[in-house]
Chain A
Amino acid sequence: MGLFRALKNIRRGKGRSALTLCGVAVGVFAVVVISGIGVVGTDRVTSAMVTMGINSALVEASETGGSISLTDEDVTAFSRLEGVNKAMPLMASPSETKLLDVSRDCYAWGVDRQAKDIISLEAIHGRLIGDGDVEAHAMTCVIDEVFATQSYGRSNITGKKIRLLLEGGYYEFEIVGVAKSGMTGLQNMMSGIMPDFVYIPYTTMQDITGRTSYDKIALLLDGGSADENLTSDLTREVNQLKSTKSGLTITNFQSQKGQLNNILSTVTTVLSLIAGISLVVSGITVMTTMLVSVGERTREIGIKKSIGAKNKDIMWEFLLESVLLTAMGSITGIALGTLVCAAGCIAFSLPVAVPIKSILLSFCFSSAMGALFGVYPAMKAARLNPIEALRT
């Protein structure tokens, strides 16, 4: 009954109530859309990190332990550690390629067939480096999609020859496959900074460089268990195996993902707070509306008091009205905001994500705002002197 009467009173000042409602709706809408963008953005970055190989880790000599060399025995030993699924030797060398007589900087990687799982290499044309290539010390290579497209204008260039500068001499390799660029969008954005990647059998790399040891060992960690603790446990264990104190370090994408997520959520929170200011503004609008309403209904308040309404009754009547007004506004804002978020996701063909947490938060926040800014007008109404109120 009280709710029904409050609704009736809101309907009385139709135009004014509608405008106030719009104000609240716009504020809530802004918060919902901004947090929606935040949620979608975080999701995108996370999925990009997964394709980058979120469960991969890299063991390499730390700056202090320059003389440590990694061997086949280490690869086997590391692969048997708890939490480690697979291990693969990895050699890296900055290089230069000549393709169609155009020279460009690149980074040559010596890998084996496990590259698919461990560093998330994925062939879009041809094949990846296989056991046959490794055993035969073959002059075969896999190149980046971006590299292929930039050189030939198309991605499928398997069978072409490429010249790689290693240890001061050019060696000719046959392109057997084109790999999907690891970080998709991210790598595209950073292609100016990041060199192109060329993958060759690690045995071939050893032959050319004359080295028998490896620079790094890539590990595939058990899915889901790749957290900070595992990384530090493994670091201790690999150092024990090589009888050094801190000669080896492990780099894991997990910690980078954490950092990136932290930055993203900070940005989202700051933006949401700025949008939250609009909620405060709408709270003030609610207060103005309610004050005008109290002014208009002074006589009514006097009548109610003369027939036995207590200050408390009058106060609740007005408070209920302002809370209801803001609640209706925020529901409208949430509906619009969710709709826009969903439409945006569909338009950019992203998975639809709804910021449930911010929706609930902004609903509670704006309702609390309605109550807070409704208190003053309601108290003003409740404290009216009945005689003076009746005289108006």
Chain B
Amino acid sequence: MIKIRNLTKIYSPCTEHEVTALDNVSLEVKKGEFAAVVGASGSGKTTLMNIIGCLDTQTEGEYFLDGTDVSALSSAKLSRVRGEKISFIFQGFNLIPTLTAEENVELPLIYRGVPAEKRREAARLSLEAVGLSMRADHLPSELSGGQQQRVAIARALAANAPIILADEPCGSLDSRSGGMIMEMLHSLNREGRTVVLITHDNGAALTAHRQIRISDGRII
């Protein structure tokens, strides 16, 4: 599903601020796998996630997503790949503050051109799956952190993307809510989705099928 070969990412190349965030990284994540990328802050794991998530492009090396060479795609096609193949779950939830829970969940489908009726149906079902049907009309600010992250998971569910990229999904949650989110990620994985968890928390990483440890931009 995800195949990275000899990938290097250098920020501000050829200047005195040159930073090598990823140094000759190679990794592979198979379809249906639950992989954890573990590393301390500054180790390059977020850079890796941005590249896997098609938000950023590498300086050198190859990245194949589902067999497609991503570095060759235009910005519009990258947006499309993002919308259809990848769903993000961020530490900061990244919900749009002025939209209700249901509208937030609908959003990826709007950009895919899904008709309003179908969108609403999908949003309703997704919110039900994360146990937030009662909160559909609430704004993010009216929800707890755990609930907001569940809305983000519902958004990923509605988008129905095969890959879920979770960047410290429990980072700003208490342990009980964090446990609930981890359980949801596992159940998404059991349903057949590929999950890549990025974390510095060893305990959470150990629940994954496989741990990829990263330090100073290299895989160890």
A positions within 8 Å CB-CB of B: 1, 8-9, 12, 299-300, 302-313, 386-387, 390
Separation of A12 and B107 alpha carbons in the complex (Å): 18
**In the complex, chain A residues whose CB is within 8 Å of the CB of B82:** 305-308
Q: Name 14 A/B residue pairs within 8 A (Cβ), A-sorted.
A: A12-B98, A300-B96, A303-B95, A305-B55, A306-B88, A306-B94, A307-B82, A308-B82, A308-B108, A308-B111, A311-B79, A387-B55, A387-B56, A390-B94
**In the complex, chain B residues whose CB is within 8 Å of the CB of A386:** 55
**In the complex, chain A residues whose CB is within 8 Å of the CB of B56:** 387
On whether the beta carbons of A312 and B83 are closer than 8 Å, the reply is: no
- Chain A nearest CB from B76 CB (Å) reads 5
B positions within 8 Å CB-CB of A: 50, 53, 55-56, 75-76, 79-80, 82-84, 87-88, 90, 94-98, 107-108, 110-112, 116, 155, 159
**Residue of A303, A313, A390 with highest tally of chain B CB at under 10 A:** A303
On whether the beta carbons of A307 and B75 are closer than 8 Å, the reply is: no
Using known A-B contacts A1-B110, A311-B79, determine if residue A306 contacts B55 with beta carbons closer than 8 Å: yes
Contact of B80 among A303, A306, A310, A390 (CB under 8 A): A310
Using known A-B contacts A310-B111, A386-B55, determine if residue A303 contacts B79 with beta carbons closer than 8 Å: no
On whether the beta carbons of B159 and A307 are closer than 8 Å, the reply is: yes
On whether the beta carbons of A311 and B76 are closer than 8 Å, the reply is: yes
On whether the beta carbons of B88 and A307 are closer than 8 Å, the reply is: yes
**In the complex, chain B residues whose CB is within 8 Å of the CB of A312:** 76
On whether the beta carbons of B98 and A8 are closer than 8 Å, the reply is: yes
On whether the beta carbons of A307 and B80 are closer than 8 Å, the reply is: no
- Chain B nearest CB from A14 CB (Å) reads 13
On whether the beta carbons of A309 and B55 are closer than 8 Å, the reply is: no
**In the complex, chain A residues whose CB is within 8 Å of the CB of B95:** 303
Separation of A306 and B165 alpha carbons in the complex (Å): 11
Separation of A390 and B94 alpha carbons in the complex (Å): 8
On whether the beta carbons of A308 and B83 are closer than 8 Å, the reply is: yes
Residue of A nearest to B82 (CB): A308
Contact of B116 among A1, A9, A300, A303 (CB under 8 A): A1
User: 4 closest A-B pairs (Cβ-Cβ)?
Assistant: A308-B83, A310-B79, A307-B108, A308-B111
Residue of B nearest to A312 (CB): B76
- Chain B nearest CB from A295 CB (Å) reads 15
Separation of A8 and B139 alpha carbons in the complex (Å): 14
On whether the beta carbons of B75 and A311 are closer than 8 Å, the reply is: yes
**In the complex, chain A residues whose CB is within 8 Å of the CB of B98:** 8-9, 12
Contact of B87 among A1, A303, A307, A311 (CB under 8 A): A307
Separation of A350 and B7 alpha carbons in the complex (Å): 81
**In the complex, chain B residues whose CB is within 8 Å of the CB of A1:** 110, 116
**In the complex, chain B residues whose CB is within 8 Å of the CB of A311:** 75-76, 79
On whether the beta carbons of B112 and A308 are closer than 8 Å, the reply is: yes
**In the complex, chain B residues whose CB is within 8 Å of the CB of A9:** 98
**In the complex, chain A residues whose CB is within 8 Å of the CB of B90:** 390
- Chain A nearest CB from B27 CB (Å) reads 20
Residue of A nearest to B159 (CB): A307
Using known A-B contacts A8-B98, A387-B50, A387-B56, determine if residue A308 contacts B159 with beta carbons closer than 8 Å: yes
**In the complex, chain A residues whose CB is within 8 Å of the CB of B80:** 308, 310
Separation of A302 and B82 alpha carbons in the complex (Å): 13
- Chain A nearest CB from B90 CB (Å) reads 8
On whether the beta carbons of B76 and A303 are closer than 8 Å, the reply is: no
Using known A-B contacts A312-B76, A390-B94, determine if residue A307 contacts B111 with beta carbons closer than 8 Å: yes
- Chain B nearest CB from A185 CB (Å) reads 59
**In the complex, chain A residues whose CB is within 8 Å of the CB of B88:** 306-307
Separation of A305 and B83 alpha carbons in the complex (Å): 9
Q: A303-B96, A307-B83, A308-B111 are in contact. List 6 more A-B contacts (CB 8 A).
A: A8-B98, A300-B96, A304-B96, A307-B108, A308-B84, A308-B112
On whether the beta carbons of A307 and B55 are closer than 8 Å, the reply is: no
Residue of A nearest to B79 (CB): A310
**In the complex, chain B residues whose CB is within 8 Å of the CB of A309:** 79, 83, 111
On whether the beta carbons of A308 and B94 are closer than 8 Å, the reply is: no
On whether the beta carbons of A305 and B79 are closer than 8 Å, the reply is: yes
**In the complex, chain B residues whose CB is within 8 Å of the CB of A390:** 55, 90, 94
**In the complex, chain A residues whose CB is within 8 Å of the CB of B97:** 300
On whether the beta carbons of A313 and B55 are closer than 8 Å, the reply is: no
**In the complex, chain B residues whose CB is within 8 Å of the CB of A305:** 55, 79, 82
